Amino acid sequence: MNIFQYRSLSYLLCLPLIFMGCASTFTPGPVLVSSGIRFQLLYPEAKTVAIAGSFNNWDPTTHFLDKNSADSWSIILPLSKGRYQYLFVMDQKTWLPDPGAQMLIDDGFGQKNSLLIVQ
């Protein structure tokens, strides 16, 4: 098991405990809002969180999420209709799929990317 798999597995195992404490203020996964798509992540240990995907050529330095209350992070991206793969990038080194994503897709390298279809 490589470090990516270990960190992903331990993070996913802790998600139910994390969400139980703040279920009323945090909605996991991408959400359609009037100005685009809101992406959110609950990851209190991170100093920075970015989102990289097919919409920004997988650049982890383009779209940084803002830290909100309860140690959640969010960003709204104005995405047009289409199919997008993406990952969250914590502290510019740890890449993780969105734990709230409804769909995952094989990345061709043995890992999974989050998949979002905007209609």
Of residues 69 and 46, more confidently modeled: 46
Residue 85, pLDDT > 80, answer yes
Domains along the chain with CATH numbers:
3-118 (2.60.40.10)
> What does pLDDT average to over the chain?
84
CB neighbour burial string for 2-36, b if at least 16 within 10 angstroms, e if fewer: eeeeeebeebeeeeeebeeeeeeebebbbeeeeeb
Question: Count of residues for the chain?
Answer: 119
Of residues 22 and 39, more confidently modeled: 39
Backbone φ and ψ for 79, nearest 5 degrees, come out as: -95, 135
With 0.75 as the threshold, say if the pTM is over it.
yes
Looking at residue 71, its pLDDT comes to: 83
pLDDT band at 3 (very low <50, low <70, confident <90, very high): very low
Looking at residue 27, its pLDDT comes to: 77
**Strand-pair partners of 119:** none
